[in-house]
Structure 1
Amino acid sequence: MRWAVIPDRYHRYVGTMDDTPLETRELRYFVAVAEELHFGRAAERLGMAQPPLSRAIQRLERRLGVRLLTRDRRGVALTGAGETLLHEGRAALAMTRAAARRTRRAGADGGARERLVLAVKAGAFHEQLRKLLDAYAAEPGAAEVEVLPSGTCEQEEMLRDGRADVALIHVPPRSLAGFDSERLSTEGQVAVLPAGHRLAARASLSMAEVGAIPGLPLARWPGPDGRPPGPGPEIHDQTQLGQLIALGRAAAVFPVSAVSWLWSAHAAVPLSDAPEVATHLAWPAHSRSLALAALARTAGRL
């Protein structure tokens, strides 16, 4: 029988795997390096020296038995395994932060009464939210609900990192991956334009027409997807968006219910071919909150 001889340089990555769970500290170190793609900047961000950070990443690679990063004269790059750990590591760190926030919230005021934090997009969902909160408040033993207005498209992130226990989310453009949900309503969409624009008097528009209005680009939501794609300004809150539209610097596409926050300087034109948008009450799939379950049942009845 002939035995294969494995060169020494591979022993760091072969046959060293174990079932020991990853530590939060290791994940923080790796995510910092993976996001910066530079050990010096990552070390500065973490408030530590570079040599121990490099050694920590090497130990992590030995434990996992895979290369996470490639290092050469051109810099640092992620391998396929590194891309996977970056995605999973971010999610794991978000879950630990969420656990800490929700635990502190549960223990506030001695934990005498459960409190739910409900994230909503500022300026939206008025009628739906009022009906839901009134119906839930009438339930025996209803928890206190803190309504937390948030920036455009922040609700999903707030659920994942524990700032909120439950949220109202539009689908699309947001995702319900990892959440349980109850659908509250489905509606069409409108184009929001400056009131004096030549297209503001139209009975309807197509998505293609709205996306091609000269000098009036569609505003983009923040985040990695940047939807809708294009050169339009990135917006972070309702007031900013309202001003840009009123000044003739941007247009936007919103569910029909968004007309409740429009200014007199805005016009809403129905879209003939836009996909319908569903409003969901969403919460983390692993939640065991009885108060949240009661809120979801109330939403289902409505």
Structure 2
Amino acid sequence: MDDLEVRQLRYFVAVAEELHFGRAARRLGMAQPPLSRAIRELERGLGVRLLDRTTRHVALTPAGEVLLREGRAALDAVGAAARRTRHAGRPTPALRLALKADFDAGLLPAVLAEYQRTEGLPPVEPVLGGRGDQAVALRDGRADVALLPGPVDAADLDFEPLVTETRVVALAVGDPLAARADLRLADFAGRVLPDGSPAEQDGTGTATTTGFRPRDVAEIFNMVELGRMVWFLPGSLARRHPRPGVAYRPVTDLSPFTLSVAWPRNSRSRAVAAFVRAATGVAGSPVGAQALGA
């Protein structure tokens, strides 16, 4: 057996993730006996045992661990291919831009204007998402190009850094730290960021709370005003959102914010190339410097 069918991979991945045939069958919307037969047929075809199973226990073998890893990647690639194909067949083309609202360093209006100077390009269609969603949208075929805040996982993506700027902390105006001119990360011990992680770890820690998590910038600002959290944000974003209940202060050892434009490594799209040229051109121009307050 040299070829694997998508159906077989989907069945196996469900069982391997659930480690329970009954739950996997319910997840797949099928009965358990045909699922069990399909896995046995897959093992016979590959000539290896993928699962160690008893009446009470299901576990992956070393071969099964390999197929789970490779199978997930293959199913992701198939899904992305289907999305890109459907998009290419749309009667009205569009360049799908993944971004996090407000995290464009103030460059987006100028970038769009520059992009639109070239005739014959499709319009830009925003694909809004939360933190970390942009690279996922590129990889799974929901977006063609992205503005990525923060570090870029360059696996199967190409990217160009656009701007790097300092970040500041947003605190309630009545917070004792707001009265200080010299702040360091250690001063925020015991405080949390919007994702629930410890503030003194600069967003590199894991969430320690399970309470309310704000969904957008407006909710974050409300929670900061109430003293429920602090927030580290790019200086350009702070300048665009002055609020009477929020104080912005520099933090000496806070890492900078970097914004990049990114696209799938195998992209051959004229529109993507035009958008990348527009983004890098604007970022290096006086317009970009003005957006950053330089």
CA spacing shift, 1:42–1:126, aligned 2, 3 Å: same
Matched residue, 1:70: 52
Q: Provide TM-score, normalisation by structure 1.
A: 0.80
Superposed displacement of residue 257, structure 1: 2.7
CA distance in 1, matches of 2:261, 2:173: 32
Alpha-carbon distance change, 94 to 127 in structure 1, aligned in 2, over 3 angstroms: same
2:205 matched to which residue of 1? 228
* Stretch deviating more after TM superposition (53-62 or 116-125): 53-62
Partner of 2:288: none
**Separation in 2 of the partners of 1:153 and 1:34?**
26
Does 1:186 find its partner at 2:164? Answer: yes
Q: Which residue of 1 aligns with 2:278?
A: 298
Segment drifting more, 264-273 vs 233-242:
233-242
The answer to whether the 8 A contact 1:220-1:227 is kept is: no
Counterpart residue identity of residue 247, structure 2: A
Alignment of 1:36-47 (within 5 A): 36-47=18-29
Indicate if the aligned counterparts of 1:189 and 1:275 stay in contact, CA closer than 8 A.
yes
* Other-structure match for 2:248: 268
Three-state SS of the structure 2 residue aligned to 1:186 is strand
Q: CA deviation at 1:169?
A: 0.7
Asked if 2 retains the 8 angstrom alpha-carbon contact of 1:221 and 1:236, the reply is: no
Q: What SS is found at the alignment partner of 1:44?
A: helix
Distance 2:214 2:40 in 1: 40
1:101 Cα deviation from its structure 2 partner: 1.9
Contact 1:190-1:270 at 8 Å conserved across structures? yes
Contact 2:103 2:149 in 1 (8 A): no
User: Which structure 2 residue ranges, 5 or more long, are not aligned?
Assistant: 198-202, 283-294
1:283 Cα deviation from its structure 2 partner: 1.2
Aligned: 1:151 with 2:133: no
Aligned to 1:218: 193
Question: Which one of 51, 58, 76 corresponds to residue 94 of structure 1?
Answer: 76
Residue equivalent to 2:153: 175
- Greater shift after overlay, 64-73 or 247-256? 64-73
The 10-residue stretch of structure 1 (57-66 or 147-156) with the greater mean CA deviation from structure 2:
57-66
Q: Could you tell me which residue of structure 2 aligns to residue 205 of structure 1?
A: 183
Alpha-carbon RMSD:
2.6
The whole-number CA distance in structure 1 between the counterparts of 2:243 and 2:171 is: 11
Give the corresponding residue for 1:57: 39
Whole-angstrom CA distance in 2 between matches of 1:179 and 1:262: 35
Contact 1:194-1:267 within 8 A present in 2 as well: yes
Q: Which residue pairs with 1:128 in the alignment? A: 107
Q: Match of 1:200, SS?
A: helix
Match of 2:264 in 1: 284
Which has the higher mean CA deviation after the structures are superposed, 82-91 or 127-136? 82-91
Question: Deviation per CA, 1:93-117, whole angstroms, max 9, x where unpaired?
Answer: 22222222222222222x5xx4111
Comparing 256-265 with 120-129, greater Cα deviation is found at 256-265
Q: Distance in 2 between matches of 1:228 and 1:191?
A: 17
> Are the equivalent residues in 2 in contact too, given 1:118–1:164 (CA < 8 A)?
yes
Letter in 1 for 2:38: A
Residue of structure 2 equivalent to 1:195? 173
- What is residue 11 of structure 1 aligned with on the other side? none
Partner Cα separation in structure 2 for residue 283 and residue 277 of structure 1: 20
Instruction: State whether residues 168 and 250 of structure 2, in contact with CA within 8 Å, keep that contact through their aligned partners in structure 1.
Output: yes
Partners of 2:164 and 2:259 within 8 A in 1:
yes
Q: Which moved more, 1:270-279 or 1:201-210?
A: 201-210
Q: How many Å apart are 1:248 and its aligned residue?
A: 2.0
**Structure 1 segments unaligned to the other structure (5+ residues):** 1-17
On the 8 A contact 1:193/1:252 being kept in 2, the answer is: yes
Partner of 1:115: 94
Change (3 A) 1:231 1:297: same
User: For residues 204 and 248 of structure 2, what CA distance do their matches in structure 1 show?
Assistant: 20
SS at match of 1:127: coil
